Amino acid sequence: MASPFSRTMRSLKTDSFRASLIGMTVALILLSAWSAWFFMAKVTLYKISRKAYVKADETVVAAFPRKDSRRARETRQNRVVAEFSSKMMGNIRSGQRAMLYLDGDIGKKTGPILAIVKNVNTRQGKGKGVVELLTLTDADSPLRIRHGLSGQVKIETDYVSPAVLVMRASGLFADTPALSVSPQ
């Protein structure tokens, strides 16, 4: 007696799982690449100042780069003072990279200006701290940064992976202050 499902059985025997296997392999490769990025990529965290002021006129400094010690490289430096809230001062240290964004037309012309943290003062009153920075601009640049200009400063404070950012947002890596017991 012939099977009523002979065509179905024949089609099942000839059917292969090659397309499903290829699809699963591609999905696994994409998932592996995303997981590697999620746990190993570095995201820069910044602290942004309330306000920043250019405090001193520029000075020209000559430095000899290590690669080509025969030629001096001249840079202009300006002293900048930036105000931060006291909560933000914990991760700011001397030597960190920063970017100065000036207000007004001069800020549009210059764009972000590279700076280095020189001094950190956390003993200011009223819940604020002051950070002193030095700008680093090329001596050949026609734009001059003058005393009295204002703007904002972004200081690079940390490099973390996207996984750490997600865990901090969920509360798993929250910075919790130590518990203190008050006498009664």
Q: What is the CATH number of the domain that holds 95?
A: 2.40.30.170
| Domain enclosing residue 70, as ranges | 44-169
Number of domains observed in the structure of the chain = 1
- Helices marked H in the chain: 6-14, 18-40, 104-110, 162-170
Is the residue at 4 inside a domain? no
- Residue 4 pLDDT: 63
- Residue 124 pLDDT: 60
Is the residue at 165 inside a domain? yes
Distance (Å, whole) CA 46 – CA 156: 5
Is the residue at 25 inside a domain? no
Is the residue at 153 inside a domain? yes
Is the residue at 182 inside a domain? no
- Residue 39 pLDDT: 94
- pLDDT per residue of the chain (184 residues) written in tens, 0 to 9: 556 665 666 666 667 778 888 999 999 999 999 999 999 999 988 888 888 888 876 666 666 666 655 666 677 788 888 888 877 788 888 888 999 888 888 777 778 888 889 888 876 666 788 888 888 877 777 777 778 888 889 998 888 999 988 888 888 765 544 333 333 3
Is the residue at 29 inside a domain? no
Is the residue at 183 inside a domain? no
Residue 96's CB: how many other CB atoms inside 10 A?
18
Is the residue at 74 inside a domain? yes
Distance (Å, whole) CA 36 – CA 94: 32
